[in-house]
């Protein structure tokens, strides 16, 4: 064995490490892939070895290879092995590899759950840290669910290093397991005020990230964040918070008003550009959310624009870019303030940096008005000509179209100009946006009736010059416009001056080189044109020859399309060809056909809105998911049958030429047949020939190949003859405006208020006023798009259903229900519920050794619930023993346990905060209103009787003192507010106080369920009888169990070991012992105690009868080990099982509670306590705490409470108090138990 190890380590010396690998790869530049594949083979060998160091080295190399793009998922299991190494250096390599290559579908991830849990609870903070870092990269829903509790515990770790990581990873957990958000949120919120700035900033980051997606759920945090913003000096945190406010303000305009002042201050004071920029951004968001008419904010806008101008003018390209970016946000609501910087923005269009040019383009979009549209577009057209890269030119093209078509062509006064711009754009070589131009052409031609004549003329010219567009058929994106041109000419052919010429242009042989869908449109529209020509000609009887010539033209040219390989073209062409042939026959008989032919294309097409199809309501009674015909039952097998049949068919086909008796076919025959086949193929036009020589297929000589294709160099934009240039329109427009102005002056008094009322459906509100006196050149009717009747216009269908953040849209202000206080667990391990006591104990046994404590999160959770009830001091002792179990601070427990009195007070807090008084003039003062609600609660705490609800806030004391002075100043105001609060919460009290244990108004005196059990000079035993029973699901069994937690504390300076716990069983109660142990055997306490240490052990007893309290005698034996000797010692104790210990805290809803009382099965009993001078809520808390009751409902000084025994007895209490007298009416279906419990309650109060 030893030899093997030595041999292994010698072998290792010759293994390649990562450096060698890297060096090797660099040295094998030529055959890198080959070298790496040999390396991977070596790694595979190394992974097979037992030595963990070798494995870790191999995994390390794999991680590097993974970065280079090699798939290493095959080594996933080895990575898990290395992860589980106890040595940190290896563990880290393992986690690194896992974080690089594990993902949700890696199946070995399932194996890692326990390992990760072990590492998370490791005493070494770096183990925990590396596990957290790794987990954040590969957390799956399963892992998130299983580990959420552990990570939540780590959020209160003593080391900020761990806390910070735990807080950050919670975000990933929320994403994967949204149910954890609500239970974890209170703690996350606490971390906002963590003393460590790193943890604080982590919490801010997580909450900001959450709030960004679902801002409205986080509105109630605004006061807290406001406080942080005004107090923090950490710019990273500030940036995040300010960004968050940017997301919140649209939801709450009042928040915006509050923010403006401090933000402006920050803008003035900060020297950090990043912070300045974010402030400006948020101020913009605020201004957007506020109604724009507010006069006092124009200063803020000016400030923003001014600061942004500084940014844009800066020589740093980054600042310039960001300035433009922010500017575009202002533009949306305050276009005027941006428009004054037009010069600057146009200047940016000439910047050498493409990103900046693109941003400037975005800005132009909002800066156009009717006045300057032509001018701006002209400038852009110049850029188009100059632009060298196609991407930027394409971007320009889309921007031009965007700018012109925005808000339903609002700014276009002259559509002739726009059409000619579009036509000019078609001359761009190699653009991808042909279809965009085409759709614009179609849209304008269809929707603007007045422009059709002009558009048709332009399109006809385009068709005539089609060869210019299709010059380079390889990159024929632009030929899409021909699609539009052909369609427009056909559809609106009545506007054509020379339909004959256009028809001829559309039937040129060259057309056959266009893509199929365009050819199809050509063919179809040729028919439309034909109809027009016929109609035009038949009016003039002398010219009937022209009509016949047209028919002849079609008959001559269409066969070319009939041969098209495109089905659509072929079909349409042959259809129309037959039609024309028939018409020709009629023409020869001098029959008037024009009417009939035109009727083929009668009727007008209306534009349809893009979402119209989606909005068509499904008719009633139509279920789209139902089968129309029942699917054939044996579809599976039939499919197979068909497949095999198909095969058979193919097989048959193959052998067709060789005839059935193929075995007898001789060589000669075969050769002959080959000849025949070749001849057959040669004649078949659909057979693709192998040799290029047989390319000539078409007999008619109009083959495409014969037309010489001239490559035209289009570096200089071509002027298409006869086409008006858009520039002309600019001049014309100017002249026209001059004229208009002159006209206007004459009719000034009349027309002043009249807007261009002709048919404009949309009148932009944001558009500059001045443009209103520009009347469009044409009477323009923009037809709106059609929508189905009763369809509602809405944009809600744009949301991505796969967004993981959708699941995180959870109301966080709602109080946690009892069932939610702990993390929910999907019952993926139902067997654990009914675990035998034996197993139970094993779990308990491993408590002191955190690393054994794996996989039983259920038990852990039980434990932690119990823990919440313990007193803090006890918990500290507990912590040392229980190791991984994190103490839950009492305050915290209260916050979690006490139902926050619904969201109303919180919401009103926010209202109060928001509505509160004048905006403070400096950040310091700004903090004051943020804390005022808290002040109010502080005061309420002093007088709990008058203001019970408000005091729920977490740290009343702190704020009370610090804001004392301010409080006085604001007292007047608050008094009013308080009244409101009081009424409000009283009203809400009925529902809000339901169903929780008790709500705590102020820190309660420490309470402990631990009682001293026995003590001697060596050891002290404290016991608590826990109310936990194995069955929490409600189907209680006969053999109910009681868990007793005992804390052993070593009081001497020697080591205590071999502790044995034994109890004399009574008839009624028995200690649960492991199988095989006799009834008198003791239980071994699963730990040893070093001096001064305490630890907790749990023992399970089964109880028959729970009506009576009982006492059990027991002994603890142990060995005290000193340096030189060891002595056996013994300690006797008495275990007292009170009836209370058989009760389980069970929440109950008031309606169920009243039903229970109505049933009449319960027998009553009552009790009076005199001289109790505790506040009522203390009293309730005591009953809840010591006797396991929960408050069902509380009204003023009267409360109903509920509990249930482990055997299912219901127990109801009605507690009233008046002048130091407490009366308790109780009802239970087991009078004996009730009597005993009441006695115990009495005892509790007599003790204090």
Partner 1 sequence: MIKAILIFNNHGKPRLIRFYEYFAEDVQQQIIRETFHLVSKRDDNVCNFLEGGSLIGGSDYKLIYRHYATLYFVFCVDSSESELGILDLIQVFVETLDKCFENVCELDLIFHMDKGGFSAAPARAVSAVKNINLPEMPRNINIGDINIKVPSLSPF
Which residue has tokens 């002595």? 1127
Residue 362 or 1129 having the CB closest to partner 1:
362
**Cβ nearer to partner 1, comparing 296 with 315:** 315
Nearest residue to 492 via CA among 520, 450, 534: 450
How far apart CA 208 and CA 204 sit, in angstroms, is 6
Stretch that binds partner 1, among 348-356, 512-520, 613-621, 1189-1197 (CB under 8 A): 348-356
Residue from 36, 46, 58, 92 touching partner 1 (CB under 8 A): that is 92
Among 10, 14, 19, 828, indicate the residue that binds partner 1 (CB under 8 A): 19
Check binding of 788 to partner 1 (CB under 8 A): no
Closest to 1170 in 3D by CA, of 1217, 1214, 1215, 1213: 1217
Greatest alpha-carbon pair distance for the chain in Å reads 139
Comparison of 275 and 460: residue with beta carbon closer to partner 1: 275
CB of 108 to partner 1, least distance (A): 15
Report the nearest approach of partner 1 to the CB of residue 164 (Å).
6
**Contact characters 198-227, partner 1, x per CB under 8 A:** x--xx--x--xx--x---------------
Selected from 51, 355, 584, 1223, the binder of partner 1 by CB under 8 A is 355
**CB-hemisphere CA count at 13 Å for 308?**
29
896 within 8 A of 869, measured Cβ to Cβ:
no
Tokens of 777: 């050149």
User: What whole-number distance in Å separates Cα of residue 823 and Cα of residue 841?
Assistant: 23
Task: Write the binding mask 310 to 339 for partner 1: x where contact by CB under 8 A, - elsewhere.
Answer: -------xx-xxx-----------------
Check binding of 299 to partner 1 (CB under 8 A): no
Stretch that binds partner 1, among 267-275, 517-525, 963-971, 1076-1084 (CB under 8 A): 267-275
Cα-based distances in Å from 357 to 65, 332, 360, 399: 40, 19, 5, 12
Question: Which CB atom, from 103 or from 657, has the smaller least distance to partner 1?
Answer: 103
Nearest CB to partner 1, comparing residues 55 and 1098: 55
Which of 22, 942 has the CB closer to partner 1? 22
Residue 371 CA: distances (Å) to CA of 756, 1099, 1141: 14, 88, 86
Binding status of residue 194 toward partner 1 by CB under 8 A: no
Q: Per DSSP, what are the bridge partners of residue 1226?
A: 1165, 1213
Residue closer to partner 1 by CB (options 355, 962) is 355
Determine the interface stretch with partner 1 among 238-246, 372-380, 874-882, 967-975 (rule: CB under 8 A).
Answer: 238-246
Binding segment (CB under 8 A) for partner 1, from list 194-202, 287-295, 329-337, 1121-1129: 194-202
Q: Which is nearer to partner 1, 240 or 934 (CB)?
A: 240
Binding string, residues 38-67; x marks residues near partner 1 by CB under 8 A = ----------------------x--xx-xx
Q: Which is nearer to partner 1, 167 or 364 (CB)?
A: 167
Determine if 104 is a binding residue for partner 1 (CB under 8 A): yes
Cβ(84)–Cβ(115) below 8 Å: yes
Half-sphere exposure of 735 (CA within 13 A, CB side): 6
Interacting residue with partner 1 among 49, 51, 99, 809 (CB under 8 A): 99
Residue among 239, 514, 1144, 1156 that touches partner 1 (CB under 8 A): 239
Give the H or E element holding residue 1216.
Answer: strand 1210-1218
Q: Which two tokens stand for residue 1222?
A: 């407490």
CB of 800 to partner 1, least distance (A): 10
Residue with tokens 């515990």, as numbered in its chain = 153
Q: Tell me: does residue 233 bind partner 1 (CB under 8 A).
A: yes
| Distance of alpha carbon 362 from the chain centroid | 27
- The HSE-up count of residue 352 (CA atoms within 13 Å, CB side) is 3
What tokens does 1053 get? 């300076």
SS3 885: coil
Residue 11 C-beta: closest distance to partner 1, Å: 19
Q: How far apart are CA 940 and CA 999, in angstroms?
A: 14
Q: Can residue 432 be called a binding residue for partner 1 (CB under 8 A)? A: no
Binding to partner 1 by residue 481, rule CB under 8 A?
no
Residue 1198 interacts with partner 1 (CB under 8 A): yes or no: no
Which of 51, 125, 133, 1008 lies at the binding interface for partner 1 (CB under 8 A)?
133
Interatomic CA distance for residues 562 and 570, integer angstroms: 4
Q: Is 872 in the site for partner 1 (CB under 8 A)?
A: no
Nearer to partner 1 (CB atom), residue 133 or residue 563? 133
Nearer to partner 1, 274 or 588 (CB): 274
Helix (H) or strand (E) holding 1226: strand 1221-1228
Kindly state whether residue 130 participates in binding partner 1, applying the rule CB under 8 A: yes
Cα four-point dihedral sign 636, 642, 645, 649: negative
CA distance 1071 to 214: 53
C-alpha distances in Å from residue 1162, one per residue of 1034, 1157, 1208, 1241 = 20, 7, 13, 19
- Angle (CA) 980-982-984 rounded to 5° is 70
Rounded CA-CA distance 1204/804 in Å is 41
Q: Does 468 bind partner 1 (CB under 8 A)?
A: no
Pick the stretch among 216-224, 353-361, 857-865, 1010-1018 that binds partner 1 (CB under 8 A): 353-361
Helix (H) or strand (E) holding 65: helix 52-67
User: Given candidates 1, 14, 69, 688, which one binds partner 1 under the rule CB under 8 A?
Assistant: 69
Question: What percent helix, strand, coil does the chain show, rounded to 5?
Answer: 60, 10, 30
Assess 243 for contact with partner 1 (CB under 8 A).
yes
Burial 656-678 (b: 16+ CB within 10 A, else e): eeeeeeeeeeeeeeeeeeeeeee
Establish if 883 lies at the interface with partner 1 (CB under 8 A).
no
Residue bearing tokens 């259809």: 575
| Host H or E run for residue 1026 | strand 1019-1026
Question: Judged by CB under 8 A, does residue 115 bind partner 1?
Answer: no
Which of 409, 369, 452, 371 has the alpha carbon at shortest distance from 759?
409
For partner 1, the closer CB: 22 or 725: 22
Does 277 bind partner 1 (CB under 8 A)? Our answer is: yes
Instruction: Give the H or E element holding residue 161.
Output: helix 160-176
What phi-psi label fits residue 1171: left (phi over 0), alpha (psi between -120 and 50 degrees) or beta?
left
- Binding partner 1 (rule: CB under 8 A), the pick from 11, 41, 354, 786 is 354
Return the range that interacts with partner 1 (CB under 8 A); candidates 265-273, 294-302, 572-580, 948-956.
Answer: 265-273
Alpha-carbon distance values, 579 to 506, 537, 582 (Å): 18, 18, 5
Q: Which stretch binds partner 1 (CB under 8 A): 77-85, 270-278, 424-432, 1094-1102?
A: 270-278
Residue 168 C-beta: closest distance to partner 1, Å: 8
Name the one range near partner 1 by CB under 8 A: 271-279, 481-489, 613-621, 1132-1140: 271-279
Any contact of residue 271 with partner 1 (CB under 8 A)? yes
The residue (of 311 and 338) whose beta carbon lies closer to partner 1 is 311
- Total interface residues for partner 1 by CB under 8 A: 62
- The site string for partner 1 over 134-173 (x = CB under 8 A, - otherwise) reads --xxx-------------------------xx--x-----
| Contacts to partner 1 by CB under 8 A | 18-19, 22, 60, 63-64, 66-71, 92-93, 96, 99-101, 103-104, 130, 133, 136-138, 164-165, 168, 197-198, 201-202, 205, 208-209, 212, 233-237, 239-240, 243, 271-275, 277-278, 317-318, 320-322, 352-356, 358
């Amino acid at each position: 064995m030893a030899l093997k190890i030595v041999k292994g380590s010698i072998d290792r010396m010759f293994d390649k490490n990562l450096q060698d690998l890297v060096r090797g790869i660099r040295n094998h530049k030529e055959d890198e892939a080959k070298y790496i594949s040999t390396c991977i083979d070596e790694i595979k060998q190394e992974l097979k070895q037992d030595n963990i160091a070798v494995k870790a080295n191999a995994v390390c190399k794999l991680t590097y290879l993974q970065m280079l793009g090699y798939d290493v998922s095959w080594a996933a299991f080895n990575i898990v092995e290395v992860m589980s190494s106890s040595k940190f250096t290896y563990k880290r390599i393992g986690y690194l590899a896992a974080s690089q290559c594990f993902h949700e579908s890696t199946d070995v991830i399932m194996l890692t759950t326990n390992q990760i849990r072990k590492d998370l609870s490791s005493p070494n903070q770096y183990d925990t840290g590396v596990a957290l870092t790794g987990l954040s990269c590969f957390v799956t829903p399963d892992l998130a669910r299983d580990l959420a509790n552990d990570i939540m515990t780590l959020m209160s770790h003593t080391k900020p290093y761990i806390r910070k990581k735990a807080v950050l990873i919670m975000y990933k957990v929320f994403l994967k397991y949204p149910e954890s958000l609500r239970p974890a949120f209170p703690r996350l919120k606490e971390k906002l005020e963590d003393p460590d700035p790193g943890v604080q900033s982590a919490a801010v980051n997580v909450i900001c990230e959450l709030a960004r997606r679902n801002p409205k759920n986080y509105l109630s945090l605004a006061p807290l964040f406001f406080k942080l913003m005004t107090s923090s000096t950490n710019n990273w945190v500030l940036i995040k918070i300010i960004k968050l406010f940017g997301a919140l303000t649209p939801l709450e305009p009042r928040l915006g008003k509050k923010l403006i002042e401090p933000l402006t201050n920050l803008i003035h004071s900060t020297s950090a550009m990043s912070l300045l920029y974010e402030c400006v951004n948020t101020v913009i968001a605020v201004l957007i959310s506020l109604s724009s008419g507010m006069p006092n904010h124009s200063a803020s806008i000016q400030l923003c624009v001014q600061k942004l101008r500084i940014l844009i003018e800066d020589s740093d390209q980054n600042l310039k870019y960001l300035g433009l970016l922010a500017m575009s946000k202002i533009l949306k609501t305050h276009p005027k303030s941006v428009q004054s910087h037009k010069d600057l923005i146009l200047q940016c269009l000439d910047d050498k940096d493409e990103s900046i040019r693109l941003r400037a383009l975005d800005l132009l979009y909002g800066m156009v008005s009717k006045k300057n549209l032509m001018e701006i577009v002209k400038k852009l057209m110049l850029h188009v000509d100059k632009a060298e890269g196609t991407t930027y030119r394409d971007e320009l093209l889309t921007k031009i179209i965007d700018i012109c078509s925005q808000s339903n062509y609002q700014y276009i006064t002259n559509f002739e100009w726009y059409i000619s711009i579009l036509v000019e754009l078609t001359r761009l070589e190699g653009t991808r946006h042909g279809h965009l131009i085409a759709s614009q052409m179609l849209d304008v031609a269809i929707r603007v009736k007045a422009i059709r004549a002009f558009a048709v003329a332009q399109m006809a010219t385009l068709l005539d010059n089609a060869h210019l567009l299709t010059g380079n058929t390889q990159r024929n994106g632009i030929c899409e416009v021909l699609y539009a041109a052909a369609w427009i000419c056909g559809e609106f052919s009545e506007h054509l001056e020379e339909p004959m010429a256009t028809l001829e242009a559309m039937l040129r042989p060259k057309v056959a080189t266009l893509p199929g869908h365009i050819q199809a449109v050509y063919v179809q529209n040729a028919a439309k044109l034909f109809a027009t020509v016929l109609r035009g000609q038949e009016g003039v009887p002398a010219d009937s020859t022209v009509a016949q010539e047209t028919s002849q033209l079609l008959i001559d040219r269409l066969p070319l399309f009939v041969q098209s390989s495109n089905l659509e073209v072929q079909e349409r062409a042959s259809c129309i060809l037959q039609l024309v042939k028939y018409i020709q026959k009629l023409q020869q008989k001098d029959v008037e056909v024009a009417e009939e032919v035109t009727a083929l294309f009668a009727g007008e097409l209306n534009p349809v809105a893009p979402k119209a199809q989606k909005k068509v309501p499904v008719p009633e009674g139509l279920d789209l998911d139902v089968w129309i015909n029942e699917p054939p039952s044996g579809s599976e097998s039939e499919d197979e049958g068909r497949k095999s049949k198909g095969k058979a068919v193919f097989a048959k086909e193959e052998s067709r030429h060789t005839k059935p008796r193929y075995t007898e076919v001789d060589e000669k025959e075969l050769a002959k047949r080959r000849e025949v086949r070749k001849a057959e193929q040669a004649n078949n036009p659909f057979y693709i020939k192998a040799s290029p020589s047989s390319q000539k297929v078409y007999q008619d000589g109009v083959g495409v190949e014969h037309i010489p294709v001239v490559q035209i160099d289009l570096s200089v934009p071509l002027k298409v003859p006869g086409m008006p240039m858009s520039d002309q329109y600019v001049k014309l427009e100017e002249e026209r405006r001059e004229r208009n102005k002159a006209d206007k002056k004459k009719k000034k008094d009349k027309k002043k208020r009249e807007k261009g009322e002709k048919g404009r459906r949309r009148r932009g509100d944001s558009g500059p006023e001045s443009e209103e006196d520009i009347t469009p050149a044409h009477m323009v009717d923009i037809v709106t798009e059609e929508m189905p009747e009763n369809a509602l216009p809405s944009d809600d269908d744009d949301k991505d259903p796969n967004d993981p953040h959708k699941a995180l849209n959870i109301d966080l202000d709602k109080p946690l229900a009892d069932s939610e206080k702990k993390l929910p667990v999907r019952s993926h391990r139902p067997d654990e519920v009914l675990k035998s006591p034996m197993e139970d104990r094993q779990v308990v046994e491993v408590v002191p050794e955190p690393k054994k404590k794996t996989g039983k999160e259920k038990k852990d959770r039980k434990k932690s619930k119990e823990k919440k009830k313990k007193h803090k001091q006890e918990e500290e002792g507990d912590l040392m023993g229980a190791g991984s179990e994190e103490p839950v601070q009492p305050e915290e427990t209260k916050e979690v346990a006490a139902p926050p009195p619904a969201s109303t007070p919180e919401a009103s807090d926010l209202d109060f905060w928001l509505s509160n008084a004048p905006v403070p003039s400096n950040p310091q003062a700004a903090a004051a209103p943020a804390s005022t609600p808290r002040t109010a609660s502080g005061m309420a705490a002093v007088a709990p009787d008058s203001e019970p609800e408000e005091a729920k806030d977490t740290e009343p004391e702190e704020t009370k003192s610090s804001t004392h002075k301010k409080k006085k100043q604001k007292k007047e105001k608050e008094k009013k507010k308080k009244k409101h609060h009081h009424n409000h919460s009283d009203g809400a009290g009925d529902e809000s106080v339901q169903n929780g244990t008790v709500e705590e108004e102020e820190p309660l005196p420490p309470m402990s369920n631990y009682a001293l059990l026995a003590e001697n000079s060596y050891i002290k035993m404290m016991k608590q009888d826990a109310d936990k029973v194995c069955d929490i699901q409600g189907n209680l069994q006969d053999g109910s169990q009681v868990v007793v937690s005992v804390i052993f504390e070593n009081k001497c300076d020697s080591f205590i070991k071999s502790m044995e716990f034994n109890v004399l069983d009574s008839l009624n109660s028995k200690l649960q012992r492991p199988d095989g142990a006799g009834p008198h055997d003791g239980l071994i306490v699963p730990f040893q105690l070093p001096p001064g240490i305490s630890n907790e052990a749990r023992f399970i007893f089964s109880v028959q009868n729970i009506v009576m309290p009982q006492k059990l005698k027991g002994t603890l034996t142990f060995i005290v080990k000193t340096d030189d000797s060891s002595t056996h010692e013994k300690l006797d104790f008495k275990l007292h099982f009170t009836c209370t210990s058989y009760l389980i805290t069970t929440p109950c809803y008031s309606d169920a509670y009243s039903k229970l009382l109505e049933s009449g099965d319960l027998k009553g009993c009552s009790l009076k306590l005199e001289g109790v001078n505790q506040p009522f809520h203390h009293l309730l808390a005591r009953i809840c705490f010591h006797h396991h009751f929960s408050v069902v409902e509380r009204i003023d000084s009267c409360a109903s409470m509920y509990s249930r025994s482990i055997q299912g007895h219901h127990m109801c209490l009605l507690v009233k108090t008046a002048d130091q007298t407490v009366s308790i009416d109780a009802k239970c279906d087991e009078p004996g138990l009730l009597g005993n419990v009441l006695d115990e309650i009495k005892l509790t109060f007599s003790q204090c």
